[in-house]
């Protein structure tokens, strides 16, 4: 009963009294920078400058790294900047999970790619709010810092990327809106940040280690057009529009210059063009990325030179495992000026000022504690997000299963009864994990369980088929839980095949031959489902990615019909042959005579396309009235925003009728197509989306989709955002169920001039 009382006392006193890894600065005794940094009447820049001015050069250099040593002489404690919270507070060098409550578990949501599949920005903000609240509670009690390296907003353009599930999918608009909603949730809506969020990895980062090429030595060659419209668009949302507290520069180079030494990316674009300076935000390196500048990119000769050039060109903190940057060498050799050191420290300390690090109990978020972690509302949200994100990819009417109280289920596969598989990467310790078998047994059904293979196991050493067939023969329905497992050998890195593992295909075929209802529930990233889609004996397919702590419950709610699926694929499902047609290192999006295009915008032969998803009901959908013509010059003249691409365009209103027999959500996806703007034209481009909730069978409702001028504009070869005249076609849903057309008249207008590199 001690901890509830502890949560109410002074943060400083708490940190001093308990054996926790971190302490807050001692502002009570007035020893931090002569108390100027603790003076809330000063501006954040003044407070940050005060602490830098109070430090000697030895102390300054010791605080340029992620494991900052602090300065005991002035009452500044050490601080570890490496804290993680991708889909819940996660293990990291700066995050401690004690063995005992209350801070031994954090709510674990589905992986971001499944969160994105819900296509609901309000839902994402709620998730961010829970994660941010729990993360700050962790920090308040000294179990972590108060900055967290999340969200990952790189685009998931190639299915082989081993960490693609950390991102919100392949579409730049979807990733951007996810980023905006998540940052709002994480950092909070007050003047003080709840935590400092970090958008990563800037820029062009989307593979790990493939065919002899590593992210540590890769040079991403990006055209200005691809850069502006795709690879950097989510970072524009983070920096320009959301003013996120921090951004992480990536391992790879971009157009010959390592990201963490790339002044075009960090100064010209980030701090210049996007005006990411309102709160003196800071840039941290990815871990050991500074060493890559000399060691792997060979951009300079020595690590000391590489270290200096990264700080000079705009990086503010070096993430080191041990001593992968050479800050002492850069200083001793006269390569690193003190004014650059001071600038970096002012930016990082100001980030902590904005998060109330020096405010003690006066911090707006000082009251967050153990009672704000793992709340019933958070647990319910974790379940809801899994249900909302799981995508129905095939169904011949088998789902939802019509089950009786005494129905028996064969639950077969490597993750059917292994709840450790449902969490995903960059995770912490959840309060519980519920497997599908557990959830089915809680509902009272008889479960006949048998395990199954994971990867390319040798079928001649088959130890599973006999048990699986026996379980299936003894059951009314067969549920097969397969896919790929990120914790299995090789799956933590990039893949070379996107086929279903051979041993799993063989088992699915054997089960389908029994002639009983067979539902495949797929874990992990997308695979080529062609064999399963063709097989009549495979009646239904659900894709679950990694559904989080209550993933088993979510799966059973959908299978039994307690809930109805409405999610859509946030990525393209490619045919297996795609991996032989284009290397993962190819960054160009547009197709050529030699290579296919990338993502749904440029690739037309998907097995199942971006935006695809089935329902248990039928919908009749139509556009409501919409103007047929707009003047470009009138649209621009009526826009007073600093950035014209953010000005609102006429909303789309859609009438939705649930013509079926089950209550369901409906996700409205509106794409734009048409031969206007630069060649070659995309097939279509997502322009806006929204989710209508809980539409009763037989009911109808309207949903209004908002969008901006930038959402219908295109980027030219120079990267400029241009509103072009022409006939625009709006395509609703995937596949398209209805269309409308409107015309933009007048002269093309540039909404944003993309700066060219020198």
**Annotated active-site residue in 219, 286, 292, 645:** 286
Cβ atoms within 10 A of the Cβ of 538, count? 23
The pair of three-digit structure tokens given for residue 407, joined into one six-digit string:
């129905």
Q: Report how far residue 341's alpha carbon sits from residue 308's, in angstroms, rounded to the nearest whole number.
A: 10
Q: Report how far residue 297's alpha carbon sits from residue 14's, in angstroms, rounded to the nearest whole number.
A: 46
* Angle in degrees, 0-180, between the axes of helices 121-140 and 376-389, rounded to the nearest 10: 140
Check if 219 is active-site. Answer: no
Give the side-chain half-sphere CA count within 13 A for 375: 16
Please give the backbone phi and psi of residue 84, each rounded to the nearest 5 degrees, phi first.
Answer: -125, 145
Q: Report how far residue 366's alpha carbon sits from residue 698's, in angstroms, rounded to the nearest whole number.
A: 49
**Cβ-defined contacts of 650-653 (< 8 Å, 24+):** 650/626, 651/704, 651/705, 651/706, 651/707, 652/623, 652/626, 652/688, 652/704, 652/705, 652/707, 652/730, 653/623, 653/624, 653/625, 653/626, 653/702, 653/703, 653/704, 653/705
The 3-class SS string of 12-70 reads HHHHHHCCCCCCCCCCCCCCHHHHHHHCCCCCHHHHHHHHHHCCCHHHHHCCCECEECC
Q: Are strands 219-220 and 253-254 parallel, antiparallel or unpaired?
A: parallel
Strands (DSSP E) contained in 141-300 are: 147-148, 196-202, 209-210, 213-214, 219-220, 246-249, 253-254, 257-258, 282-285
Sign of the CA dihedral running 94, 100, 103, 109: positive
Residues 6+ apart with CB under 8 A from 310: 258, 260, 261, 285, 290, 293, 318, 325
Q: Report how far residue 750's alpha carbon sits from residue 720's, in angstroms, rounded to the nearest whole number.
A: 7
Query: Could you list the active site residues?
Result: 286
């Amino acid at each position: 009963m001690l901890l509830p009382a502890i949560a109410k006392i002074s943060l400083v006193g708490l940190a001093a009294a308990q054996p926790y890894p971190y302490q807050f600065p001692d502002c009570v005794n007035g020893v931090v920078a002569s108390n100027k940094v603790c003076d809330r009447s000063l501006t954040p820049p003044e407070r940050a400058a005060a602490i830098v001015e109070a430090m000697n050069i030895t102390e300054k250099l010791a605080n340029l790294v992620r494991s900052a040593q602090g300065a005991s002489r002035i009452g500044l404690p050490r601080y570890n900047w490496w804290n993680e919270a991708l889909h819940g507070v996660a293990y990291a060098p700066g995050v401690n999970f004690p063995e005992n409550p209350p801070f031994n578990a954090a709510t674990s949501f589905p992986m971001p790619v499944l969160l994105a599949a819900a296509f609901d920005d309000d839902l994402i903000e709620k998730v961010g709010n829970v994660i941010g609240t729990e993360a700050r509670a962790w920090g308040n009690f000294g179990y972590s810092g108060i900055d967290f390296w999340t969200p990952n907003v790189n685009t998931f353009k190639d299915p082989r990327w081993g960490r693609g599930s950390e991102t919100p999918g392949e579409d730049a608009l979807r990733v951007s809106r996810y980023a905006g909603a998540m940052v709002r949730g994480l950092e909070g809506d007050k003047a003080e940040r709840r935590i400092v969020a970090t958008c990563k990895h800037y820029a062009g980062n989307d593979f790990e280690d493939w065919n002899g090429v590593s992210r540590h030595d890769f040079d991403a060659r990006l055209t200005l057009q691809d850069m502006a419209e795709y690879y950097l668009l989510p970072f524009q949302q983070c920096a320009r529009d959301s003013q996120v507290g921090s951004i992480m520069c990536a391992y790879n180079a971009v157009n010959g210059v390592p990201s963490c030494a790339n002044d075009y990316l960090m100064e010209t674009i980030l701090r210049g063009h996007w005006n990411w300076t309102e709160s003196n935000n800071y840039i941290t390196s990815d871990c050991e990325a500074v060493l890559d500048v000399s060691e792997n990119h060979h951009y300079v000769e020595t690590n000391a030179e590489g270290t200096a050039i990264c700080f000079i060109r705009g990086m503010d903190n070096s993430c080191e495992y041990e001593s992968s940057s050479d800050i002492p060498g850069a200083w001793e050799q006269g390569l690193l000026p003190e004014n650059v050191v001071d600038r970096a420290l002012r930016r990082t300390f100001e980030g902590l000022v904005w998060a109330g690090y020096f405010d003690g109990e006066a911090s707006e978020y000082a009251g967050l504690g153990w009672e704000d972690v793992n709340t019933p509302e958070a647990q319910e949200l974790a379940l809801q997000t899994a249900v909302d994100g799981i995508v129905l990819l095939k169904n011949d009417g088998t789902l939802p299963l019509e089950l009786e109280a005494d129905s028996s289920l064969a639950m077969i596969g490597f993750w059917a009864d292994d709840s450790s598989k449902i969490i995903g990467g960059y995770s912490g310790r959840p309060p519980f994990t519920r497997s599908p078998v557990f959830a089915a047994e809680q509902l009272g059904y008889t479960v006949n369980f048998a395990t199954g293979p994971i990867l390319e196991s040798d079928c001649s050493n088959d130890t599973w088929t006999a048990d699986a067939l026996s379980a299936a023969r003894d059951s009314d329905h067969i549920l097969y839980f397969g896919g790929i497992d990120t914790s299995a050998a090789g799956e933590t890195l990039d893949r070379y095949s996107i086929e279903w593992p051979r041993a799993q295909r063989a088992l699915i075929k054997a089960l389908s031959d029994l002639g009983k209802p067979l539902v495949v529930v797929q874990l992990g990233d997308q695979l080529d489902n062609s064999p399963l889609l063709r097989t009549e004996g495979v009646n239904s397919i659900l894709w679950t990615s990694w559904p989080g702590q209550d993933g088993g419950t979510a799966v059973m709610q959908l299978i039994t019909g307690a809930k109805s699926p409405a999610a859509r694929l946030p990525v393209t499902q490619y045919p297996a042959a795609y991996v032989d047609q284009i290397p993962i290192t190819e960054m160009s999006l547009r197709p050529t005579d030699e290579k296919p295009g990338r993502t749904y915008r440029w690739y037309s032969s998907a097995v199942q396309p971006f935006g695809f998803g089935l329902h248990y009901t039928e919908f009749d959908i139509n556009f409501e009235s919409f103007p047929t013509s707009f003047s470009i010059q009138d649209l621009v003249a009526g826009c007073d925003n600093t950035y014209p691409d953010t000005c609102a365009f006429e909303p789309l209103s859609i009438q939705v009728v649930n013509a079926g027999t089950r209550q369901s959500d409906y996700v409205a996806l509106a794409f734009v197509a048409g031969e206007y703007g630069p060649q070659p034209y995309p097939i279509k481009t997502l322009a806006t989306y929204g989710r209508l909730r809980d539409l009763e069978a037989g009911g109808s409702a309207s949903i209004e989709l908002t969008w901006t001028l930038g959402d219908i504009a295109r980027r030219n070869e120079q990267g400029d955002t241009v509103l072009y005249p022409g006939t625009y076609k709006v395509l609703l849903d995937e596949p398209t169920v209805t269309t409308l057309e409107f015309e933009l008249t007048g002269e093309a207008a540039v909404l944003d001039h993309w700066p060219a590199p020198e």
